[in-house]
A and B are shown apart, each in its own frame.
Chain A
Amino acid sequence: MTESPRVTDVESLLRTPLHDLHVSLGARMVPFAGYSMPVQYPTGILAEHRHTRTAAGLFDVAHMGQVTLRGPDVHRRLETLVPADVQGIAPGAVRYSQLTDEQGGILDDLMISNAGDHVVAVVNASRKHADVAHMKAGLPGIAVELAEDRALLALQGPGSAAVMARLAPPAAALAFMTFTACPVAGIPCGVSRSGYTGEDGFEISVPADRAVALAERLLAEPEVRPIGLGARDSLRLEAGLCLYGHDIDTTTTPVEAGLAWSIQARRRREGGFPGAAVIQRQLAEGPPRRRVGLRPEGSAPAREGTEILDAAGNAIGRVTSGGFGPTVSAPVAMGYVAAAAAAPGTPVQLVVRGQARPARVVALPFVPHRYKRS
């Protein structure tokens, strides 16, 4: 299991362009993926979580990797590393996919944007250098470039569309999983309608030296408040979205992780990506285990690593993410269980602090997605 590098020497931590802004806003900074990031602001995680679900929250995700791939036939070439139909991505559209290994395991998950003559991939902070090396090795002749001069902000929540309509009118026209180049409050940006909270929202790529100006402008809007990593995790968990290094890694396949929807028909048929044999077999015969949602019956949250037993007490898997769901206002968790026990409604037990407590397998997400599809 790939963990975020444990950095103890705070001084050696990297900083995003917004670091000083976070500090000035009273954020509690913690190490994450080698960066010093805000885990919460004075209002606290619960308030931040609820604010994002009801208004609009601003997230600093500048630590993530924005990778540009440029070169002859880049769309088709990229398909040799990911199971998604990259050639089928319309210009201006975005698709979710994974970098897989020969066993069908997941090296990282990523967003792929078709910018016409080139492709932009957004990858996880903890994996970005490994991913770039992997792509360079796998795609000779394709220029793979990790943008060092750009920051990434996410504006998420039902109020975000109104904010963008004021500051970036053209972005108001975007459908879910599409992007456009568009000034935001006069600052040239790349804007996509996507996110990591299950809410309507936007992800904004901005030149690093304008990031603070943009963040301050966005925070000046009545709907917008800054949101830290804590709420980001509870929001994505309720939305049933995977966190790399926890819910997915090289030991899990896209099929086991319930991400088969991100493998389009042509690729299922034709294969041609790392681990295709494993994945195609799992698609045909079904995987041995599946990622599921779990609802503990009591009020005790089940944390990552919690053992999952079936009704008879046999170990059938482990919790990969878990905690209290502020919107569900109950504990929620995700984990892998044997395929036989994956059906929603299946009673299971979670071993919390040495004691087996009753829980139920439930369908994901815990909170319905509110994306703006066309």
Chain B
Amino acid sequence: MTATGHRGLDHEEPLLFEQDEPGRTGVDLPAPKGGQDRLGGRARTRPLGLPGLAEPQVVRHFTRLSQRNYAIDAGMYPLGSCTMKHNPRLNERVARLPGLGDLHPLQPAKTVRGAVALMHTLAHWLTTLCGMPAVALSPAAGAHGELCGLMTIRAALEARGDARKRVLVPESAHGTNPATAAQCGYAIESIPATARGRVDLAALKAKLDGSVAALMLTNPNTCGLFEDEVQEAARLVHQVGGFFYGDGANFNAIVGRVRPGDLGVDAMHINLHKTFSTPHGGGGPGSGPVVLSEALAPFAPLPHIVVRDGRPRLVEHDGKAFGRIRAFHGQMGMFIRALAYMMSHGADGLRQVAEDSVLNANYVMAALKDDFTPAFPGPCMHECLFDDRSLKDTGVTTLDIAKALIDEGFHPMTIYFPLVVHGALLVEPTETESKATLDEFIGAMKALARRAHEEGAAERFHAAPTLAPRRRLDETTAARKPVLRWRPATPSAAAE
């Protein structure tokens, strides 16, 4: 323990509120002129309790906080189903160009022609890559896209006077799938997986009838496997008049090589913050455009972009649309970044993205097949899945492996997901990792596997991580006695 509590470059940093000096500010603004206000007597009389700091203190505060984060810039992020790939800085530059970054969403059309053309161009790339005729750009993230897609489906069904009540979701699905279906007023039924880690077509058939609104399917699925019977599944759903919703979370595996439209998909959201490299920013913002089939396109939410008189235009009011799911036109800042990424790769580069991401995942699986137990026989797509059979009787758990990986300098893979595999470890390297990095990761995993079988391994693993800014945190107390905000030690006027 050091005198300061700091550990070399790893600084302990108090909360902003603990550095407060009332009256101090980090922004110099002109002095107000004073005089009568027009607030109708609603002016606030008590302070809010915001902290006062000067600019250097704020800059240092957040710089120190940043140094306590893992990031893709710093190392590999093998998070399955999250596609944490390199985020090009060119995207950041162009998103900030005057004439793009400083546009107000409600400017007159004639002053934003380039912006609308840009959105139209993004739409062209997305629909071409997906082999689908239309795309709704407005959803703010993947889950928002799912909501948009299911609302579109429900609108299309209601338009043909066909009220359906059930949505089918595989056991292995992301939690957002059932949550979204429920938010759209549907009853959720889950479909079991086969021993091959794919949707059980027989079980699907058994559940299909005229009351099924949609099947929600991720492909490649969350086990990292391509649903080889997907076209048959789509045919069956269409046969009973239902729609096929594709979850595009794993699009990175097939972009430029397989078009969802050719698989029978009616609607699919695309996470621009996964496949198309817009930065994840510690939890957003994302962007989740939804590609749509001919049958669904007319019901897409507002706004629409239509080409009229040889020019793309923004349509903000339209009868057939099912409504509006946000204030304005979509995550423009993310559209710019994603389009810059697409144009940088081009049709040839994007195809290579899919191939390299699949190659990297299969390479990791092959290299670790004797140290960990692959959940299913290969080949996998862009991510490889292991279960915890290899840890049997060691007392070491999947969680322990994840935490120990932190001490080895890697971010943990996705763990305990998908739920259909016991003690799942889901590894997605992505195409932007070099072979050297993969070999280092493989080496670390092999070492952990070996140590897991040594004497007293359990205790040592339970202690990990020991080299991170923090050891394991007490999530139980956090949930039992929630402390969700800072409060002044001595209750002041600022506190409620």
Contacts and interface: CB of A to CB of B under 8 A. Distances in A.
Interface stretch (A74-82, A169-177, A248-256): A169-177
A161 interface: yes
Contacts of B114: 170, 173
Nearest to B124: A165
A372 interface: yes
B84 to A, nearest CB: 29
A257 to B, nearest CB: 28
Contacts of A174: 113, 311
Contacts of A170: 114, 117-118
Contacts of A374: 110, 311
B312 A200 contact: no
- The B interface, classified by DSSP as helix, strand, loop or mixed, is helix
A269 interface: no
Interface in A146-201: 161, 165-166, 169-170, 172-175, 200
A81 to B, nearest CB: 30
A373 interface: yes
B309 interface: yes
Contacts of B121: 165, 169, 172
Interface residues of A, number: 13
B342 to A, nearest CB: 11
Interface string B96-122: 000000000000001001101110110
A200 B307 CA distance: 14
B309 A173 contact: no
Contacts of B311: 161, 172-175, 372, 374
Contacts of A166: 124
Contacts of B116: 173
A372 B110 contact: no
Interface in B304-333: 309-312
A169 B113 CA distance: 11
Contacts of A169: 117-118, 120-121, 124
Contact of A373 (B113, B118, B124, B309): B309
A174 B117 CA distance: 9
B461 to A, nearest CB: 53
Given A165-B124, A172-B120, A200 B310 contact: yes
A172 B117 contact: yes
A175 B121 CA distance: 17
Contacts of A161: 310-311
A372 B310 CA distance: 6
A241 to B, nearest CB: 20
Interface string B273-314: 000000000000000000000000000000000000111100
Given A165-B124, A374-B110, A173 B117 contact: yes
A372 B307 CA distance: 12
Contacts of A165: 120-121, 124
Contacts of B118: 169-170
Contacts of A200: 310
Contacts of A173: 113-114, 116-117, 311-312
Nearest to B118: A169
Given A165-B124, A372-B310, A175 B117 contact: no
Nearest to A169: B121
A374 B311 CA distance: 9
A12 B455 CA distance: 94
Contact of A372 (B117, B120, B309): B309
Nearest to B339: A169
Contacts of B120: 165, 169, 172
Interface string B120-131: 110010000000
Interface in B67-110: 110
A165 B118 CA distance: 10
A70 B489 CA distance: 69
Contacts of B117: 169-170, 172-173
A228 to B, nearest CB: 25
Most A Cβ at <10 Å: residue of B110, B114, B309, B310: B310
Interface string A347-374: 0000000000000000000000000111
Nearest to B117: A173
A166 B125 CA distance: 9
A373 B308 CA distance: 11
B99 to A, nearest CB: 11
A277 B124 CA distance: 54
Nearest to B312: A172
Nearest to A374: B110
A198 to B, nearest CB: 14
A373 B310 CA distance: 9
Contacts of A175: 113, 311
Contacts of A372: 309-311
Most B Cβ at <10 Å: residue of A165, A170, A175, A374: A165
A172 B114 CA distance: 8
A8 B311 CA distance: 46
A88 B129 CA distance: 44
The 4 closest A-B pairs by CB, nearest first: A173-B117, A169-B121, A173-B113, A372-B310
Given A170-B117, A173-B116, 12 more contacts: A161-B311, A169-B120, A169-B121, A172-B120, A172-B312, A173-B113, A173-B117, A173-B311, A173-B312, A174-B311, A175-B311, A374-B110
26 contacts: A161-B310, A165-B124, A169-B117, A169-B118, A169-B120, A169-B121, A170-B117, A172-B117, A172-B120, A172-B121, A172-B310, A172-B311, A172-B312, A173-B113, A173-B117, A173-B311, A173-B312, A174-B311, A175-B113, A175-B311, A200-B310, A372-B309, A372-B310, A373-B309, A374-B110, A374-B311
Interface of A: 161, 165-166, 169-170, 172-175, 200, 372-374
